[in-house]
């Protein structure tokens, strides 16, 4: 059981009481707040909402058991914001070494006194802002419970960057964030946005799972798993980028817009370079389109009205399309030259009937080019002027059974979910002439 609901309520009121006592000598710092308990009972309350020693220990045992699930034998482990060693007392026997770090010398003093019988357990006081007291790649596992939420977001982010530094390349981190929108945090939310009590330096800061994941990824920690425990979320992270399956799992932790953004962050196009089988080349596109290849090796597709070239085999599931095109359409105000590359969702009727991702034009994906700029009401924009530069446009479309992702050479990305019914890729042209300079479809490795 995760006793967070009750914990946060009392913890807030105890902290608020401490801060009110300190307010005479402004500004109040993190260290002052967490040093300001008068006895062990108050320390337990401020940490875990439990004055009672047995209940406090019981919570520590539950959390230690949870952490043990992610421990390799002989692990070097570190805890950021260890308090008086609530978790350490039960975790130490399962680690090769365990280091508790905390800003508060009083918390550390209590922890040392309580737990001096564990030879492999040590405590370090830090400056409250970084882990400069730790070596790079020192630990197999770093964890932190009920600490990041008490910090300004920039301070929390700095710690995440530090976790990334001190964890070994094959190591992991278990990091807890508050789970918003949990009704439990309504009072904290109001305090945070209004500055009214119980607003103080150690007040809970709130994160939705999408925000937490975004923070973690930006700091170079990639969530592998998410555990929802009452009003808390705990992320199991690694410092290595996920593969596609790992990304799909991570994408399910966040909202679609964040997933879309993080795809580019986690799986940049070059990482997807494939040595898989080549399914189609330019000449195949030419014959499917009924157009000959020009002397310069390119293919000029003329579209008067609407034209769709469907490529390949309905059985394809995971493939990558690399295409280099140049628009060659004289601009007319009322004619929007469209190019679409996408998927046929219902290949059996022979038309582009049900593309899975809809835009205003009803196509799977359509960069609409108008007078030298990208149409900017689509979910992505590259800000590059095709007409002005006359440079070719290089695009990569990656499709698997869950995602359709489009990269352009500037790294702009559009991602959408597909489903298992998607058909082969198509190229669609409306009112435009396009020169296709290179075209290749490959299976994904
Ligand atoms: C709510 S308690 C949690 C203690 C412990 N993680 C647990 O679960 O029992 C928060 C702890 O974080 C520590 N802390 C607060 N701000 C910190 C900071 N900026 N750097 C390091 N430790 C901090 C406090 O001193 C306190 O011990």
Based on the fold, state whether residues 219 and 357 are members of the same structural domain.
no
Q: How far is the CA of 76 from the centre of ligand 1 (A)?
A: 20
Question: Does residue 185 sit within a domain?
Answer: yes
Q: Collapsing DSSP states into helix, strand and coil, what is residue 218?
A: helix
312 in Cβ contact with 439 (< 8 Å)? no
Instruction: Give the Å distance between the CA of 205 and the centre of ligand 1.
Output: 14
Do 308 and 204 share a domain, yes or no? Answer: no
Cis? peptide before 181, omega within 30° of 0:
yes
Ligand 1 mean position to 124 CA, how many Å? 13
Query: How many independent structural domains does the chain possess?
Result: 2
Q: Answer yes or no: is 252 within a domain.
A: no
In a domain, 255, yes or no: no
* Closest atom of ligand 1 relative to the 60 alpha carbon: 9
Ligand 1, pocket-test mutation among 34, 43, 50, 112, most atoms within 8 A of CB: 34
Question: Domain limits at 119?
Answer: 7-240
* Predicted confidence pLDDT, tens digits, the chain (445 residues): 344 433 444 455 677 777 777 766 566 899 999 999 999 999 999 999 888 999 999 999 999 999 999 999 999 999 999 999 999 999 999 999 999 999 999 999 999 999 999 999 999 999 999 999 999 999 999 999 999 999 999 999 999 999 999 999 999 999 999 998 888 888 888 888 898 888 888 899 999 999 999 999 999 999 999 999 989 999 999 999 888 778 878 888 888 678 767 876 787 655 555 566 788 889 888 888 788 898 888 988 776 666 667 666 666 667 788 888 776 654 444 444 455 565 544 333 333 322 222 222 222 333 333 323 333 233 333 333 334 335 677 777 777 766 667 676 655 556 666 555 555 666 666 556 778 888 888 877 6
- 297 and 399 within one domain: yes
47, 159: one domain? yes
Query: What residue ranges in 282-412 does DSSP mark as E strands?
Result: 299-310, 319-327, 338-343, 369-370, 373-374, 393-399, 403-408
Q: How far does the centroid of ligand 1 lie from the alpha carbon of residue 318, in Å?
A: 46
Question: Distance, CA 47 to ligand 1 centroid (Å)?
Answer: 8
CA angle 173, 176, 177 (to 5 degrees): 135
Q: Which residues contact 167 (CB under 8 A, 6 or more apart)?
A: 137, 139, 140, 141, 142, 173, 239
264 lies in some domain: no
Cα angle 258, 263, 265; round to 5: 95
Q: Count CA atoms within 13 Å of residue 406 on its CB side.
A: 23
In a domain? residue 173: yes
Counting atoms of ligand 1 from 1, which one is nearest the CA of 85? 9
Q: Which residues pair with 26 in a beta bridge?
A: none
Q: Ligand 1: which residues within 6 Å by Cβ? A: 30, 34, 47-48, 81-83, 86-87, 102-104, 107, 126, 128, 145-147, 150-151
3-class DSSP assignment, residue 441:
strand
Q: What is the pTM of this model?
A: 0.74
**295 and 213 both lie in a single domain:** no
Residues, the chain = 445
């Amino acid at each position: 059981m995760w006793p967070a609901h009750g914990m946060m309520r009392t913890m807030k009121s105890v902290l608020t009481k401490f801060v009110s006592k300190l307010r005479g000598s402004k500004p109040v710092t993190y260290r002052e707040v967490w040093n300001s308990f008068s006895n062990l009972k108050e320390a337990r309350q401020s940490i875990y909402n439990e004055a009672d020693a047995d209940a406090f220990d019981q919570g520590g045992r539950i959390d230690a058991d949870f952490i043990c699930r992610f421990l390799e034998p002989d692990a070097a482990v570190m805890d950021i914001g260890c308090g008086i060693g609530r978790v350490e007392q039960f975790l130490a026997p399962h680690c090769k070494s365990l280091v508790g770090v905390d800003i508060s010398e009083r918390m550390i003093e209590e922890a040392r006194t309580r737990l001096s019988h564990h030879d492999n357990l040590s405590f370090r006081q830090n400056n409250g802002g970084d882990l400069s007291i730790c070596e790079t790649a020192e630990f197999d596992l770093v964890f932190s419970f009920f600490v990041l939420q008490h910090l300004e977001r920039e301070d929390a982010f700095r710690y995440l960057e530090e976790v990334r530094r001190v964890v070994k390349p094959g190591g992991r981190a278990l990091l807890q964030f508050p789970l918003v929108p949990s009704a439990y945090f309504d009072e904290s939310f109001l305090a945070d946005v209004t500055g009214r009590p119980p607003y103080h330096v150690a007040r809970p800061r709130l994160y939705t799972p999408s925000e937490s994941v975004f923070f973690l990824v930006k700091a170079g920690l990639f969530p592998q798993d998410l555990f929802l425990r009452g009003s808390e979320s705990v992320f199991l992270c690694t410092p290595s980028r996920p593969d596609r399956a790992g990304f799909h799992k991570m994408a399910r932790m966040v909202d679609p817009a964040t997933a879309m953004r993080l795809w580019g962050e986690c799986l940049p196009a070059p990482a997807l370079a494939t040595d898989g089988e080549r399914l189609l080349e330019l000449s195949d596109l030419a014959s499917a389109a009924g157009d000959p290849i020009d002397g310069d090796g390119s293919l000029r597709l003329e579209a008067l009205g609407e034209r769709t070239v469907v490529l390949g085999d309905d059985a394809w599931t995971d493939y990558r399309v690399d295409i280099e095109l140049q628009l060659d359409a004289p601009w007319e105000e009322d004619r929007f030259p469209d190019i679409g590359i996408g998927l046929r969702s219902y290949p059996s009727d022979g038309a582009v009937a049900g593309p899975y991702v809809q835009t205003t034009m009803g196509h799977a994906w359509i960069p609409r080019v108008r007078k030298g700029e990208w149409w900017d009401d689509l979910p992505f924009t590259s800000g590059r002027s095709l007409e002005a530069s006359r440079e070719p446009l290089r695009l990569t479309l990656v499709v698997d059974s869950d995602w359709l992702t489009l990269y352009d050479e500037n790294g702009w990305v559009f991602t959408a979910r597909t489903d298992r019914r998607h058909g082969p890729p198509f190229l669609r042209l409306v009112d435009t002439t396009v020169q296709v300079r290179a075209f290749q479809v490959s299976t994904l490795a």
